[in-house]
Structures are given as structure tokens and as C-alpha cells.
Amino acid sequence: MASRSLTIQCFPVELLTEIFEYQVEKKEVLAISQVCARWRQIAHNCPRLWSAVEVDVERPSTDSAYVDGLKTWLARSAPLRISLTCLASGGTSLYDVLEEIFHTSSRWRFLHYRQGPASQLPLTALSKLAETSLSALEELHLGNIEEGPLIITFPSSAVPRLQRVKVFIYTPTLQIHLPWKQLTHLSFSTAYADIAIEVLAECTNLIAASIIIPVVWADLPPPGQSAQTLSHLRYLALFTGGDDGHISPLFDRIFAPALETLEMDFSALDGRLTWPETSFTTFQLQSSHIVYLALNGCLYLTPENLCAALRHLPCVAELKLGHCYEIVGNNFMTMLVNKHGVAPLAPRLHNLVLKNVNRNAFAPNLFVDMLSSRWWTEADASVPRAVARWTRVELETRGDVSQDFTDTIQGLQDRGLPLEMLTIPLSVAANTLDINHSAINLQF
């Protein structure tokens, strides 16, 4: 061990610096700097090691030891841009400790208010932030903002590089105004569906958006409202909940002609959802390039609804369904069977994932027929086909399956079909699809 330590001590400064930068986690920086005098000197002279800063905003600014340590950390990170995380567990805080570090705001590249469940970002702190020059800021996570009379605006001149935002707003009015038009990535949660539409309509340069609406429309808005075209939007995730209601305004008010990925999660719904087939079809006709569709918790969609959706998705290549008991059954298997002389549904589909499926909802032979009609060996690959060949099939069933079914699946796998099957007990059946809420490096 002594010889190993001696060898490490012989490493040139440049090599040790590179090792520290790429192998040492930010939380271990202080430990590294205390190993020996040489390592301390190297660490102190390596700004990248100190470029991620965590601030406990519940510490009072009168805590001189904490403030001095914070200032020292920030000084060691200069002149690099930094990632700043503000920690709040839910206690009473004036966030006044931030006053001690605002002089470094021109170096903030990433700012994240990480809050506990009971914590809210005070409007006073947010107002102070909006008055600060954040010329290097590219990404902003605001979390849950408290309710109050203030309307806070971040002018684009103060945040010229800002492109990625994550924010929760649960007030009936939009309390924060960001330069929405310059954003490319947005994760937005609001209890008021109309606010979500209002914000989306202003984000004309979005590439990726994740929208959470805990409460859908109880009543349909009056007709004739104009639609906004988001010409650059490629990824859209929608998560809705609440009691009985409607989601058609989401599709009536937004068009996304460049959309490639669409994920919808209805698992938080307590009531009955009215599926807006007409509105969704219109939306699809404007978004003919969708290649990835994921649906979760669609308890009130029928196989006919899905069939209609797939008929208007000629490019769809990947389909994920989770907790969609009314969809995944005999009708679903039958409609995906590729039959000679019949125009196939979803001809480019090659990746199919079925999560939390009721095994008794479909006949095993129909499942096998569906798989076999879209699969062939390499030896037959030269024959022209009307459909794509499977590259991945995943089936997760609830409840036991018969040995005959298991043997049949094994036979398909032996022939080379890329099929995975998982059986989970009813008592632990998952009710989520693992939709990636931060895909495309919404990617927060």
C-alpha cells in the first residue's frame, strides 16, 4: 500500500488534475483537498472541481462561518461558470443568505431551487432574482412558487442565454413571466389547464416540453379559439389528472408539425376521461412525423380509439402501452396482424412494449399470430415486406401464464425473435409505464 501511495505521489500535477476533474464527485472535493498538502494545492487551483455549489438557503446570513465557507468555495470556482443548487427543506427561510453570493450571478450557468414537499419559493426571493443580471444562465429550475400579489418578470436582456426552464405554478393567475419565446426546453406544472395552454402558446421555439396538469377541463371552453403552431417542437409529454373531464383543448389549441415523440399519462385521473378522438385526429394530421407514441393509464380508451390513432400515425415505429386494460386485448392483437392483401396498421412499427397487461385479456394464439406476422429470419430478409420487422417486443403481464404459453414464447425466442416477457404477481403489479419525464435531455 505504501508503494502504491508513493506511486500516486509521483503523478505529475497535470495528470492528477485531470483525474480529479473527471473522477471526483463534487461532494468529495473537500475530502480530496484534505488528503495532503500537495493534493490540497492541486484541488484549490482547479476551478472545475468547485464549479457545482450547494447553498442551504435556510441558513441565516448571520452564520458567518457558513457564509465565509460559501464565499471561499465560490472564489475557488472563478472564473468558470457554475451550477448553483439552493436547498430548502420546508422550514422558515428568507433566503437572505443568497444576498451574500449575488455578486457571482453573472457566472451562474444553472440555477436550481431544490425544495422539500412543504417548501415554496418566496416571491421576495424570486423578485430579487428577477432584478439580477444572469447573463450566463442557461437552465433554471424554480420548483413550487408561493402564492401572492406580486407579478414577476424576467426580461430577456437579463437572461439572454436562458433556454431550459422547469417551474411549478399552482395559482389561478400566471405570477411569473419569463422570456418564453427563447426557451427550447420546458417542464411546466400547473393546476390550471388554461395557464398551460397560455404558456405553451408563447413558447414558439420549444423543442421539448413536459406539461403536467393535475386537473383537466371540467367543461369544454367556448369554440373558435385560435391555435398556436409550435414549429420546432419534437418532444411532447402530457400528464393529466383530476375528476371527470376533457383534454380536447390540448389538441385544439396546439399544432406541432415537427413532433416526433408523444407521451401521454392519464394514470392520475380519478374520474372518467372523455377521449377527444376528433380533436386528436386533427392534431395528428398536423403532426404526421410522430415515430414514438407512449400511453399510460388509458383506462377509458378503446381498441377502436387506438386503431384510429395509429391509422393517422403512418411513421410510428415505437409504441408503448402501460396500464391500458381496455386496449390490450384480442382486438388489439388482431388489428396489428399483418395480413396479405390488406393494408397494414402501423407498417413501420418495430418496437412494441406492453406494460402491466392483463394476461387473460387476450388469447395466446392471437398474440403469437400478431408477432409472427411481423417477424422473419435473416434468411428471408431479402423478400419485400409490407411491414417492418420487430427489433424489440416486451410483454409484462399481471398474473400467472400457462406453461404452454411460456413454451410458445420460448420457441419464438429460439427462432431469434427479440422478445422479452416478464410475469409479475397481481399483488405487486406496476401501474406506471416508466415514461421518461425528462427525455431528449429535457433532459433535465
Residue 389 or residue 31, greater confidence: 389
Task: Confirm whether 333 is domain-assigned.
Answer: yes
Examine the pLDDT at 431 and tell me if it is beyond 60: no
Residue 2: strand, helix, or coil: helix
Residue 155 or residue 122, greater confidence: 155
Examine the pLDDT at 303 and tell me if it is beyond 80: yes
Q: Of 146-155, 157-166, 222-231, which gets the smallest average pLDDT?
A: 222-231
Cell numbers representing residue 281 in the block: 385526429
Task: Confirm whether 269 is domain-assigned.
Answer: no
Task: Confirm whether 66 is domain-assigned.
Answer: no
Instruction: Answer whether 327's CB lies under 8 Å from 306's CB.
Output: yes
pLDDT cut 70: percent of the chain above it: 80
Cα 371–chain centre separation: 30
**Average model confidence (pLDDT) across the chain:** 83
**Closest C-alpha among 351, 426, 361, 347 to residue 394:** 351
Any bridge partners for residue 294, and if so which? 263, 320
Q: Of 199-213, 244-258, 308-322, which gets the smallest average pLDDT?
A: 244-258
What pLDDT does 432 receive? 44
Residue 359: strand, helix, or coil: helix
For residue 377, the tally of other CB atoms under 10 A from its CB is 10
Cell numbers representing residue 224 in the block: 373558435
What pLDDT does 149 receive? 76
Instruction: Answer whether 236's CB lies under 8 Å from 261's CB.
Output: yes
d(CA 88, CA 59): 10
Examine the pLDDT at 437 and tell me if it is beyond 50: no
**Tens digits of per-residue pLDDT, 39-92?**
666 666 777 878 888 888 888 877 888 888 888 889 888 898 999 998 887 655
d(CA 267, CA 242): 10
Rounded average pLDDT over 281-297 = 92
What's the half-sphere exposure (Cβ side, CA atoms, 13 Å) at 352?
A: 25
What angle separates helix 13-23 from helix 37-44, to the nearest 10 degrees? Answer: 70
Find the Cα–Cα–Cα–Cα dihedral 75, 76, 77, 80, rounded to 10°.
Answer: 80
Cell numbers representing residue 337 in the block: 396482424
- Kindly give, in sequence order, each residue whose CB lies less than 8 Å from that of residue 199, ignoring residues fewer than 6 positions away: 174, 180, 186, 188, 190
Cα 4–chain centre separation: 44
What pLDDT does 350 receive? 97
Task: Confirm whether 395 is domain-assigned.
Answer: yes
Q: How far is CA 68 from CA 41, 100, 101, 201, in A?
A: 19, 9, 10, 45
Q: Of 98-107, 204-213, 288-297, 419-428, which gets the smallest average pLDDT?
A: 419-428
Cα angle 216, 212, 228; round to 5: 80
Q: Residue 227 gets which letter from DSSP?
A: P
Instruction: Answer whether 314's CB lies under 8 Å from 288's CB.
Output: yes
Residue 359 or residue 289, greater confidence: 289
Q: Of 77-81, 257-261, 439-443, which gets the smallest average pLDDT?
A: 439-443
Examine the pLDDT at 443 and tell me if it is beyond 50: no
What phi and psi, each to the nearest 5 degrees, are found at residue 255?
-115, 140
CATH of the domain at 21: 1.20.1280
- Kindly give, in sequence order, each residue whose CB lies less than 8 Å from that of residue 315, ignoring residues fewer than 6 positions away: 288, 289, 290, 291, 348
Structural domain for 343, as ranges: 291-425
Q: Residue 145 gets which letter from DSSP?
A: B
The reported pTM is 0.86
Task: Confirm whether 330 is domain-assigned.
Answer: yes
d(CA 253, CA 276): 13
Task: Confirm whether 281 is domain-assigned.
Answer: no
Indicate the pLDDT class of residue 3, thresholds 50, 70 and 90: very low
**Tens digits of per-residue pLDDT, 307-334?**
999 999 999 999 999 988 878 889 999 9
Cα angle 320, 325, 329; round to 5: 85
Task: Confirm whether 385 is domain-assigned.
Answer: yes
Written as one string, the DSSP assignment of 31-83 is: HHHTS-HHHHHHHHT-GGGG-EEEEETTS-TT-HHHHHHHHHHHHHHTTS-EE
Q: Residue 312 gets which letter from DSSP?
A: T
d(CA 52, CA 161): 19
Total domains present in the chain: 2
Examine the pLDDT at 442 and tell me if it is beyond 70: no
Written as one string, the DSSP assignment of 319-333 is: EEEES-TTTSSHHHH
In which region does residue 428 sit, left (phi positive, over 0), alpha (psi from -120 to 50) or beta (all else)?
A: alpha
Task: Confirm whether 400 is domain-assigned.
Answer: yes
